[in-house]
Structure formats: C-alpha cells, structure tokens
Amino acid sequence: MPRAAKTILVIIGAVLVIPSVLAGVNPEADRKAAVEYFKQMFPKVPLKEFVNGQYALDADRRAQWQSLQDFPPYEFAVAEGKEMFETPFANGKTYASCFENGGIGIRQNYPYFDEDKKEVITLELAINQCREANGEKPLKYKKGDIASISAYMASTSDGKPFNIRIPDDPAALAAYQNGKKFYYSRRGQLNFSCASCHVKNPGKWIRADLLSPALGQPSNFPVHRSKWGELGTLHRRFAGCNKNVRAKPLPAQSTEYRDLEYFLTYMSNGLPVVGPSTRP
Amino acid sequence: MRKRLIYVGLATLALSAMSASVVAASQADIDRGKELAFSRKDGNCLACHKMDDGKLTGTIGPELANMKTRYPDRNVLFKRVWDETQFNPQTVMPPFGRHSILSKEEINRIIDYLYTL
Amino acid sequence: MKTILMLGLSLSLLAPLSAQAGAKEDFQKIYSEAKSTHDEAGNFKWTTTASRLSAARSAADDGKYEKAKELAKQALQLAKESVAQRKNQAKVWQNAAIGG
C-alpha cells in the first residue's frame, strides 16, 4: 500500500476511536462560560472571592465568619497533619518522596489525569497510593488523618492558583465530561442536580442555608464544618449533598467522585487555593 | 328494604359528588395539610417557599399566597404539586407525586391547606 | 365419610399455611424484581428505595410476609422511578449545562 494511503487510513482510524460523545467537548470554553455566568449573576463579587463560597455572597455571614478567623478550629489538625507528613514510614521514607517538590506547594495541581493509568488522581488518592507503595495501610478517605495531611499540604499551597490540566488524551476528556455529566444530572427522589442548587440558585436560601456557587467550590477543602465538628474531605461533602436529595452516595474516591472533582476543580482554574477553611 | 336501597343510592350520590373540588375541607384536613407542608421529612415546602407563619423559609420559590384567586381550578394546583417539571422542565421543585414523595391523599390535604392562604 | 371429614379438617388447617406460603412467594417475586430494578438504576439509586428494601427484608425475616410484600411493592415503585430518572437524565442533562 502506498505510504500516503496508509497514513490516511491511520488518520481515519484515529478519528474513529474518539467516541462521538466527546465531539464538541471543550473544557476551556465551559470554564470561560461559567466565569461569565457567575460574574453576571454577582457583578459586585470580585472573581477571586468565589473561593469563599457563601461568604462571598452575604455580608452578615461574612462578618460573622471573619470574626472567628483568629483561632481557626482546624489549626491543631493542620499541625498534626504536618507531623504525620514529616514522620518517616516503617521503611524510612516519607510522604515527600512520593510527590513533586517534596509535596510542598503542589495542592493547586490536584486532581490530575494520569495518562498511564487512564484515571483521575486526587490528592487524597495520591496520599494513600504513597502509603501503599511504602508498605503502609491506606487511610479512610472522608475524615481523620487523611483530612489532616491533605489540610497541611493545602496550607503549604496557600494562594497558589489552581492549574488543572486536561491532557490531549480522549480518556482525559472523557473523565472531564463524565464529571460534568454527574454535576448536571438530576438525582435522588427529590430530583436535584448539583447545578440545581449551585448553578441555578447560589445566593438564595434553602431553609436556613445560603447556597454557594459552583465556581470556587473545591478550593477551600478540606474544610472544618461546625456541623461535623472536625475536618472533612471534598468527597465527604459530595456524599452529604447526594444524601440530602435522597440519592445514594457513591464511595469516596470512586471513579464518579474523582471525575466530578476533576470537572469541578477545572472550573476553578486560576482561583487561589484557600484550604483548609471553615464552614457552618 | 326499599328505604334502605334509597339510602344506599343517596350515599353513592353523595360520594360521587365528593370529587375533591366540591366538598369543603374539614379543619382536621387543613391542619393535617399544614403539618405535611411544614414537616421536613414530608413536603418541606418551607425550604423554598415563604408561606403563612412558617419560620426560616427559603427564597428559591415564590411566596405561596392568595391561592384561591390564583388557582380557581383545583386540578391545576394539584398537577403543579404532583409534578412541576411538566410545567417547567428546569424547575427545582421536586415532583412530589410522580416521585412518590407524597401520596395523592397527602397532596390533597396540602392543597386543602394551601386554599386557606 | 370419616376420610372426607379428615380431609376437610386437614385442608382447613392447611389453608392459612398456604396463604402464608402464597404471601411468601409473592414477596420473594416482588422483592427480587425490586432489587434488580434498583440495581439497574446504577449510580442513580435512591436512598429511599434502599431503606424500603431493607425494611422489606427484615419484615420477611420476622415471618411477616404481608408487610414485607407491601414494602417490597413500594421499593419496586421507587426503583422504577429511579430507573426512569436515569434514562431521562441521560437524554436531557445537557439542556441545563453551562457550555452545553
């Protein structure tokens, strides 16, 4: 077969393997449209303020919140997280050995898409993979030690802009699209999508709760909630929001929740890391 | 014997006339309706609607008031509570009837109550 | 005559038992349909379906098959609605999405 014909066949083949559902998927266009959407909804809120969720939208709540920032309730957990982070495993190595730049100042790059494994790697998943690679047992994903370690790592990245990348790989695009689909699909007996509350109704009250916008939503995690009385991870919050609409939550770090985090954090690209933080 | 038949006949007539819109709701029906509308595990209408003397009401939906004037046809009101997505596919109001969140009977009690607003 | 009487007696004794057996079979049939429908909902399962299913299971474990059957029926109804939701959302989710 002539070389040109062969090349053409290869090109056709490559085009064919891209699933048709991915045609027209454009994360950067989505992100820009979302920024525009929320800017129009809240013209007085500076873009970077969106990382403060409900506190960006309501002066009274914000004042209350700020008055409590002198003694943040997560301080002790962050110190514990630091200690665990620096304490060597049984084999003598530390967490630093598993991460770029020794794990300091890297929160803004998570989650990322691993092109070898073809899956989304969140910070909490990477922490447990590091443990297992060094012969340690994995930690539980929603609270406790993992939240403390993740909070410490976030604190070393304070203010760095999120920089979530979607590599030129159909599997990465598919993961993004899967997360987006999760965010916009109605679930549960009460028939809500994440977007029903956090895209359509941010700034409104649902009973005594003030709804935060999708933009900036993951940047303050892990979070200390007064309702929890402790730190919790983003996936703990996902599960809570699913349960509230009577949808069966998925396991923390399931593919669905990791893809969801990938989509949601991508939307916040350019906004600063502010975790850990506090919420009601 | 004949008398009894007549009674039965009358009773059937009365029953068939009791198609929801005609019969006035009793105070007990109305109280039950309010309870269902306010309770978090049932209607939880206050999560989104200001209504009556409800406390800590949400701001997602419009205030529910003047129901008699605005909904002269009980059927229309019933259908909206049953499944608002039929009227507005993008609404966030849960389809209370279609998703079995409330039974037909429960929705009717809530509507008895709504008509007092 | 005597045998007929005996037969009648034993039949009447059996009757409640067989009614019970009928309820048990009904329950099992509805319960397994509810469970497979619930599974078909994939990641669109409802917590309310799950709790009706487990309530049905424990009623059955206590031998209360009529009650178990009723709960399984409710679970089946909810499960069907969750499957309908899953199918419908696969078609319409993008209508509400920023960027389409």
Is residue C19 pLDDT above 70, yes or no?
no
Provide the 3-class DSSP secondary structure of residue A277.
Answer: strand
| pLDDT at residue A69 in the model | 81
CATH 1.10.760.10 fits B26-114, yes or no: yes
Residues from chain C that touch B90, judged by Cβ atoms under 8 A, are 95-96
Residues in chain C within 8 Å Cβ distance of A189: 46-48, 78, 81-82
Structural domains in chain A (count) = 2
Whether the per-residue pLDDT at B10 is higher than 50: the answer is no
pLDDT tens figures, B24-81: 899 999 999 999 999 999 999 999 999 999 999 999 999 999 999 999 999 999 999 9
CB contact C96 to B (< 8 Å): yes
Q: Which residue has the higher pLDDT, C57 or C16?
A: C57
Q: What is the pLDDT of residue B14?
A: 40
> Which of A155, A180, A196 corresponds to the end of one domain?
A155
Complex ipTM above 0.95? no
The maximal CA–CA distance of chain A, rounded, in angstroms, is: 75
Residue B21: is its pLDDT beyond 80?
no
Q: Are A240 and A188 in contact (CB under 8 A)?
A: no
Judge whether B14 and B23 are in contact, CB under 8 Å.
Answer: no
Q: Which pLDDT band holds residue B1 (cuts at 50, 70, 90)?
A: very low
The answer to whether the CB of A115 falls within 8 A of the CB of A254 is no
pTM of the model: 0.90
pLDDT digits (tens, 9 = 90+) for C58-75: 999 999 999 999 999 999
Q: What is the pLDDT of residue A18?
A: 52
A250 neighbors A242 (Cβ within 8 angstroms): yes
Question: From the CA of A48, how many Å to the nearest CA of chain C?
Answer: 20
| Option in A191, A196, A199 nearest C85 (CB) | A191
CA dist., res. B90 & res. A200, Å (int): 9
Q: How does the average pLDDT of chain B come out, rounded?
A: 87
Amino acid at residue number A133:
A
User: Can you list the residues of chain A whose pLDDT is less than 70?
Assistant: 1-21
Q: How far is A62 from chain C (nearest CA, A)?
A: 28
How many Cβ atoms from other residues are within 10 Å of residue A262's Cβ? 27
Is A93 part of any domain? Answer: yes
Would you kindly state where each structural domain of chain C is located, as residue ranges? 20-99
How much is the pLDDT for A246?
98
Task: Tell me whether residue A241 is one of the annotated catalytic residues.
Answer: yes
Which residue among A104, A129, A155 closes a domain?
Answer: A155
| Cα separation values, B77 from A53, B53, B62, C90, Å | 36, 21, 14, 29
Name the residue facing B100 among C77, C92, C96 (closest C-beta): C77
Contacts of C46 in chain A (CB under 8 A): 188-189, 246-248
Residue A214: per-residue pLDDT: 98
Q: Which of residues 23-82 of C touch B (CB under 8 A)?
A: 74, 77-78, 81
Residues A263 and A227 in one domain: yes
Range of the domain at A218: 26-70+167-279
| Alpha carbon distance A95, A87 (integer Å) | 8
Q: In this structure, are A240 and A173 located in the same domain?
A: yes
pLDDT of residue A226: 94
Bridge partner list, A209: A206
The pLDDT value recorded for residue A88 is: 98
Whether residue A138 is found in the same domain as residue A243: no
Q: Is residue A3 part of a domain?
A: no
A28 shares contact with chain C (CB less than 8 Å): no
Q: Which residues pair with A114 in a beta bridge?
A: A119
Residue C78, pLDDT score: 98
Q: How many Cβ atoms sit within 10 Å of the Cβ of residue C80?
A: 18
The residue type at C10 = S
Residue B104 touches chain C, beta carbons under 8 Å: no
Domain CATH number, residue A265 = 1.10.760.10
Residues A173 and A238 in one domain: yes
Please give the full DSSP string across B13-52, using - where no structure is assigned.
HHHHHT-TTSSPPPHHHHHHHHHHHH-TTTT-GGGT---T
Domain boundary assignment for chain B: 26-114
Separation of alpha carbons A182 and A194, rounded Å: 8
